[in-house]
Amino acid sequence: MRASVEPLYEMTPVNSEMNRGVYETTNWFEDTHYFVRTHNDAVSVRRSKAQAENGAQLVFVKRYFGGMVRGHSNGFNIDRAPGSVYIFDQASQVECLQFPTTVEGFFIGKSHLGFDPDRHPPLIGIHQSHPLGGVIFGLFDRIFGGLADNDTYQKEDFAQLIACLRVAIGTDDQRADIRRTARQALMRRIQAYIEHNIGSLDLSVTDILRTFGVSRASLYRMFEESGGVREYISNRRLYRAILDLTNRPVLRGDIAKTAETWGFSSDANFSRAVRRQLGVAPGSLVNTKLAASQKYPQVGTNIINFVAAQ
């Protein structure tokens, strides 16, 4: 598995009661575009600096059907879930936990999409409620429906999709209400602050209120979908802790040490939190035999060939 995807990232199978015993991928090369649809069990994903250099020219435009991703990249929250189309800079170093998901998307050169790493964040989400969201999702349906049925798609559909994506990432801020845009910008700053300080046990709601000068009510509204900022911080620490444990086989004392490192009051509380998310004990997250033997398709090699053709 590691050898097959090593050019772009490292993937380690993670045990979960949600697993379906599957990792499947279908690839299509059409013109200069590389499309992919995958079905996978839970995995932890990491991309090193060297691996990120391999994808430096590309972004991955994708959407999810079920499942979710929790992760970080260079101080940015890169959580993903169904309901949005995501544009992800492949030059970014990442570390994330991906739950069982079905994903479909395509790799494309940054210049074709007008993606500017100096101006755009490493991950852009375009929700279905966006003014162009319905059109973008409809075009995704048509393109991947054609690929699944006939191994091809209408070129006009793809041209329209790229045009819509270019507008969405280039003028979204100008379309938005000024107060809403400012609130979103402040939330992104607070999320970046949390990611930067997530390993500090001094990180707290009081610390954030003092640092950013916002009211407690305003802070709660920003993170209401996450259950409030305390719940948001707790979940970020949980996923970091899980990622730590999926980095290697768990040894005696690792669970207690990891729980303490990430601010859990006891390894018992940490174990309960892991079981709530994945249905297994922390010590069972990584099946070493599976991690050593499971073979993933040659996605990484195909992408490198695609990069070379750009």
Here the CATH number for the domain that contains residue 132 is: 2.60.120.10
- Flag whether pLDDT at 294 surpasses 70: no
Q: What's the Rg (C-alpha) of the chain? A: 20
- Interval 216-254: pLDDT, tens: 998 999 999 889 999 999 999 999 999 988 877 677 788
- Interval 20-56: pLDDT, tens: 887 888 989 877 788 999 998 999 999 889 888 888 8
Q: Are residues 66 and 163 in the same domain?
A: yes
C-alpha span between 69 and 100 (Å, rounded):
9
Tally of domains within the chain: 2
Asked if 291 contacts 12 with a C-beta cutoff of 8 angstroms, the reply is: yes
The DSSP letter of residue 265 is S
Average pLDDT score over residue span 159-169: 90
Give the max Cα distance, the chain: 58
Q: Which pLDDT score is estimated for 141? A: 95
Q: Are residues 111 and 24 in the same domain?
A: yes
Q: Are residues 168 and 185 in the same domain?
A: no
211 or 301, which is more confident? Answer: 211
Range of the domain at 249: 179-284
Q: Which pLDDT score is estimated for 6? A: 56
Q: Are residues 150 and 275 in the same domain?
A: no
Q: Which amino acid is located at 30 in the chain?
A: E
For residue 254, the Cα-to-chain-centroid distance in whole angstroms is 26
- Flag whether pLDDT at 296 surpasses 70: no
Other Cβ atoms less than 10 A from the Cβ of 65: the count is: 11
Q: Are residues 125 and 209 in the same domain?
A: no
Residues contacting residue 56 through CB under 8 Å, at least 6 positions apart: 90, 91
Q: Which pLDDT score is estimated for 287? A: 62
- Flag whether pLDDT at 3 surpasses 60: no
Q: Are residues 148 and 162 in the same domain?
A: yes
Q: Are residues 196 and 139 in the same domain?
A: no
Q: Are residues 61 and 101 in the same domain?
A: yes
Residues contacting residue 237 through CB under 8 Å, at least 6 positions apart: 198, 262, 263, 264
Q: Are residues 14 and 102 in the same domain?
A: yes
Starting at the earlier edge strand, list the strands of the sheet with 23-30: 23-30, 33-40, 101-109, 58-65, 84-89, 123-127
> What's 276's domain CATH number?
1.10.10.60
Asked if 263 contacts 201 with a C-beta cutoff of 8 angstroms, the reply is: yes
Q: Which pLDDT score is estimated for 1? A: 30
Starting at the earlier edge strand, list the strands of the sheet with 69-73: 10-13, 43-47, 94-98, 69-73, 76-77
Q: Are residues 94 and 210 in the same domain?
A: no
C-alpha span between 288 and 307 (Å, rounded):
32
Q: Are residues 163 and 211 in the same domain?
A: no
Q: Which residues pair with 43 in a beta bridge?
A: 13, 98
Instruction: Please give the model's pTM, rounded to 2 decimal places.
Output: 0.77
Q: Are residues 301 and 236 in the same domain?
A: no
DSSP three-state, residue 297: coil
